[in-house]
A and B are shown apart, each in its own frame.
Chain A
Amino acid sequence: MSLAEKQKEPQSNGIPDEWFRPLDRSEQDAEKVSRPSLSYWGDAWQRLVKNKLAMAGLIFLILLALLAIFGPIFSPYSVREINPPNQNMAPSAEHWFGTDELGRDVFTRTWYGARISLFVGLMAALIDFFIGVVYGGISGYKGGRADNIMMRIIEILYGLPYLLVVILLLVVMGPSLATIIVALSVTGWVGMARIVRGQVLQLKNHEFVLASQSFGAKSWRIIRKNLLPNTMGPIIVQMTLTVPTAIFAEAFLSFLGLGIQAPYASWGVMANDALSTILSGDWWRLFFPALFISLTMFAFNVLGDGLQDALDPKLRE
């Protein structure tokens, strides 16, 4: 017996001999707890919920949407009703946000403004989405020369200063809700198309796509069934971040005199109309539209950031 085996002797202390028999595996397997596996979306949602700032943004936006839809209905005042005796009244029990120089209720007008701002933002995001997905999807999926040409075009469009083009378009088409949305979309889809193309390229050569190709599925079917769902993450984030950009652009245009025309008023128009009040002290006229533009953009930005973190598979543990 070697020295080494002698050293092993003390091991018997405290260890019962009957433990030295083959392990019964059946109970062991039964005990095995696997971590609950969540779907991509379920997982992403859980992480979004944990992000307090993003959730605050989401809740704010839901409230804002509700107020934009129902606020004007419950308000006793009308957006366009001019009421000269009431002009420039400070916030009070009757007029929560005060009145403007024509005696119109700022509270009511703020929710009308919300309608317009949200509508512009959402429409711009949706139109960007459709053009971007079609263009980027085709470019990425076809590849080769078509892709090359399409990307050159994007590269050139990307170099255009987009607000200047929007201004030019609006000068020609005349400012209105529809033309603002059209002008924003004409220049806005480029970023989305780039993102979609990138995603499609990444996923194109994945095994599951090759698999469905070998089963003889048509190209379109491959795009729709396999590629699109997987590219949704970054696209959703991009859409969320398009909305505040569009809201900003609309307010910016209002400041240039290219905003929605009276009697309707977006937040930008309201703020622009109130510019002269900076010096007169009627702070509420500028404050409320300014506050809501900023809060809404903030909410969309933090929600977008939150979505980005939640949807990025790299962060999955």
Chain B
Amino acid sequence: MEKILEVKDLHVTFKTYGGEVQAVRGVNFDLKKGETLAIVGESGCGKSVTSNSIMRLIPTPPGRIANGSIVYKGRDLTTVNEKEMRKIRGVDISMIFQDPMTALNPTLTIGDQLTEGLKQHKDISGREAKKKALEMMDLVGIPSPEERLKQYPHQFSGGMRQRVVIAMALICDPDLLIADEPTTALDVTIQAQILELFGKIQERTGVSIILITHDLGVVAKIADRIAVMYAGKIIEVGTKREIFYESQHPYTKGLLNSVPRLDIEEDDLIPIDGTPPDLFSPPQGCPFTARCPFAMEVCDKVYPDSASCSNTHEVDCWLQDRRAQLVSPMAGTKK
């Protein structure tokens, strides 16, 4: 399948009082048409920064894309000027934010906010815009849309607001949708509905989705592939199956063990001890070393190269090195 997005060696830094924070430190991934890639990690691991970089929504200054490329349909977005970028935002790439309670402007009607993107980018009459808006409301499952268009955000429940936000993001028929923790702020029952909606939308429109989340339950539901991020790097990437059942990186395993799962019987949850490293001065070796139960001296000194476990499964871990098998029972446990 055709690749629509390719991120290579992306570095993003932020200047702060305490020095330069290296929020993203050489991230690589790609995305195919109609695919859903989940980027998973703890808060502060750089996953939101990565997604904001694709949209070029990093506040600059203090933030800055220090290195790397983001190639969307053959165009490197890191070199596109702001005016051109505005034509890409909303039209080619859209974004959904975490909290639907704050993502809608409280003083503008839903209809106004829904159609303004359309009016900005397409030469379209007010009536056509409204028709399209009603269509989108219908697609995301908002009842009595005609009436709802005239209302203000505070008249909507959280779940309904997130539906509006999704409709807003999709109204210009983008090819790529970035969803940054789209269900985190919602009730569990509503979460399920919204996730179902994502599936339905992808089926209808063929949009590619990058899903940013820390919630593995969400991932299990809708992702095709999963990238696990830790301390500004993607440490393991693979298909959903590979990550859930054949994960190689101790961090990924820890992450899976720390959430309740219904499909695997687990006596109790095992939290990962410790905290992620300070990204003011990231360690030269593997950033997980300090928390890793299988850490070796090499881990502390050198960051491992990516090792391929299959065509779709790559992991950055020294345990993949043959020499590690001598010291660690964990090494090379793949089938």
CB-based contact B305/A20 at 8 Å: no
Q: CA–CA, A209 to B120, complex, Å?
A: 52
Q: CA–CA, A28 to B326, complex, Å?
A: 23
**Is A37 engaged at the interface, CB distance under 8 Å to the other chain?**
no
Give, as a whole number of angstroms, the nearest-CB distance from B198 to chain A.
Answer: 32
Residues of B in contact, count (CB < 8 Å): 29
User: Chain A residues with Cβ under 8 A from B328's Cβ?
Assistant: 22
**Is B222 engaged at the interface, CB distance under 8 Å to the other chain?**
no
Residues of A in contact, count (CB < 8 Å): 20
User: Chain A residues with Cβ under 8 A from B294's Cβ?
Assistant: 22
Which residues of A1-45 have CB atoms within 8 Å of chain B's CB atoms? 3-5, 7-9, 11-12, 15, 17-25, 28
Q: Which of B18, B296, B297, B318 has the most CB of A within 10 A?
A: B297
Give, as a whole number of angstroms, the nearest-CB distance from A109 to chain B.
Answer: 46
Residue in B18, B295, B301 whose beta carbon sits within 8 Å of that of A22 in the complex: B295
With A20-B296, A20-B297: A12-B321 Cβ-Cβ less than 8 Å: yes
Q: Which of A9, A12, A15, A28 has the most CB of B within 10 A?
A: A15
Secondary structure class of chain B's binding surface, majority of residues? mixed
Which residues of B297-321 have CB atoms within 8 Å of chain A's CB atoms? 297-302, 304-305, 307-310, 318, 320-321
With A4-B309, A8-B307, A317-B17: A20-B300 Cβ-Cβ less than 8 Å: no
**Is B162 engaged at the interface, CB distance under 8 Å to the other chain?**
no
CB-based contact B300/A15 at 8 Å: no
Give, as a whole number of angstroms, the nearest-CB distance from B302 to chain A.
Answer: 6
Give, as a whole number of angstroms, the nearest-CB distance from A10 to chain B.
Answer: 8
Q: A4-B307, A19-B296 are in contact. List 13 more A-B contacts (CB 8 A).
A: A3-B308, A4-B310, A8-B322, A9-B322, A15-B298, A19-B298, A20-B297, A20-B298, A20-B318, A20-B326, A21-B327, A22-B295, A23-B300
Write 19 A-B pairs (CB below 8 A) sorted by A numbering: A3-B308, A4-B308, A4-B309, A8-B320, A8-B322, A11-B304, A15-B298, A19-B296, A19-B301, A19-B302, A20-B298, A20-B324, A22-B295, A22-B296, A22-B327, A23-B289, A23-B295, A23-B296, A317-B16
